[in-house]
Structure 1
């Protein structure tokens, strides 16, 4: 009798389980393909005030199909400054991709400030080399001490108009592989400038003051 009772309970459990499974909606799934975007032309464009500028745009592919790209931002090549254009596209599921192009417009006036030389931050040297009018390289843009030599940032930066300086986004600027760009920094005088580093590692967003 006990065996009959147990078999009856088992039959009820199995019947309930089967009914439950039959009533559940199947779980759907599908693969979504993300947009793959490519800039036409360079990611950083350097102009001299008054130059013409024609945006080359970007291309976005989903699989082998080209899809629409939306561009935002503006550039005024008659006014020195830093301008960003953003390109974005999305697939039918709403997943998007974005790229950026930075346009630096330098003053057409010959610079009256020469930043070449050795500057110091907290006693740590940053050697600046002039490679063209308004164009420089820095070998320790964060002003770190020698113990952190593997994180010394070496990059190219621009004197926009004798009042502002800027380093566009650059990758692998240090032995340790740091990527970085600066804010639009300030030229206080020929012997003093400041900037903030936006780096992928090691550096915070403190204002870094250099003097000579």
Structure 2
């Protein structure tokens, strides 16, 4: 009789152990490898009008496996401006990774002899009309400028340089680039612009909308001093 009692007790122990094991693993997902994109070539490419753009490509991997990359965007190297090439890849669980390449097309012939350097005062931004100053300094290649305090905020934390490219005699672009306040920053010609575009430089100055953390999207008017 004693031996018969041990059997159901043992079976009960196995059943309880199995039930506990199922509870411990309930709702636990399997491991997923997020996509990693590796870009060939530079993130910003500068061409002269008439040059040929060659797509260098991006490689995407999940763990040790290479996966497909979707490329979206076109470059018209006959028209000065800025063009974006977007890359995206998905893993088998639907998680994505993205990368961005920006292609800037300059008309070097029309840029020759022009100069955007100088001090520009912000004279209008939404309700407050007057603001601070932006200083434009020429870079080491034609059409490249470093602009300090792009918002004309004249306040602590905004006095840093960002890169601007002149693309024609009276036009320039500010591509997406790291923002020292956080995230990224770029400039567009309108408040509703969702990506960089061509901005006009007139004899008196320019109007642009700065898109980035710490900046409102209202157009900012700057006049050359």
State the TM bucket, normalised to the shorter chain.
Answer: 0.7 to 0.9
| Cα displacement (A) at 1:108 | 3.3
Pick closer, same or farther for the CA change 1:108–1:134 going to 2, 3 Å: same
Deviation at 1:119, TM superposition (A): 0.6
TM-score relative to the length of structure 2: 0.74
Q: Does 1:39 pair with 2:39?
A: yes
Match of 2:134 among 126, 135, 157: 126
Partner of 1:155: 162
Q: Give the aligned partner of residue 165 of structure 1.
A: 172
Q: How many Å apart are 1:64 and its aligned residue?
A: 0.9
Deviation at 1:178, TM superposition (A): 6.2
> Is the Cα–Cα contact under 8 Å of residues 142 and 152 in structure 1 kept in the other structure?
no
Structure 1 match to 2:99: 99
Following superposition of structure 1 onto structure 2, how do residues 69-108 of structure 1 map, counting pairs within 5 Å?
69-108=69-108
Partner residue of 1:206? 218
- Contact 2:82/2:102 (8 A) holds in 1: yes
| Aligned position for 1:15 | none
**Count of residues in Structure 1 that have an aligned counterpart in Structure 2:** 188
Distance 1:158 1:113 in 2: 13
Name the Cα RMSD after superposition: 2.5
User: CA–CA distance in 1 between the matches of 2:27 and 2:177?
Assistant: 45
CA-CA distance at 1:95 after TM superposition:
1.4
Call closer, same or farther: CA 1:185–1:54 in 2, change over 3 Å.
closer
* Structure 2: gaps of 5 or more residues: 1-15, 123-129, 189-196
What is the TM-score when the length of structure 1 is the normalising length?
0.79
Residue 191 (1) aligns with residue 199 (2): no
The question of whether the paired residues in 1 share the 8 Å contact of 2:110 and 2:168 is answered with no
Stretch deviating more after TM superposition (129-138 or 71-80): 129-138
How far apart in 2 are the matches of 1:75 and 1:124? 36
Match of 1:66 in 2: 66
Report what 1:57 is aligned to: 57
Distance of 2:28 and 2:163 partners within structure 1: 51
The answer on whether the counterparts of 1:50 and 1:108 sit within 8 Å (CA) in structure 2 is no
Structure-2 change in CA distance of 1:73 and 1:185 (3 Å): closer
Give the C-alpha shift of residue 88 in structure 1.
1.1
Once the two structures are TM-superposed, the CA of residue 27 in structure 1 deviates from its matched residue by 4.4
8 Å CA contact 1:185–1:195 kept in 2: the answer is: no
Say whether 1:181 aligns with 2:186. yes
Corresponding residue number in structure 2 for 1:48 = 48
SS in 1 for 2:168: coil
How far apart are residue 139 of structure 1 and its match?
0.9
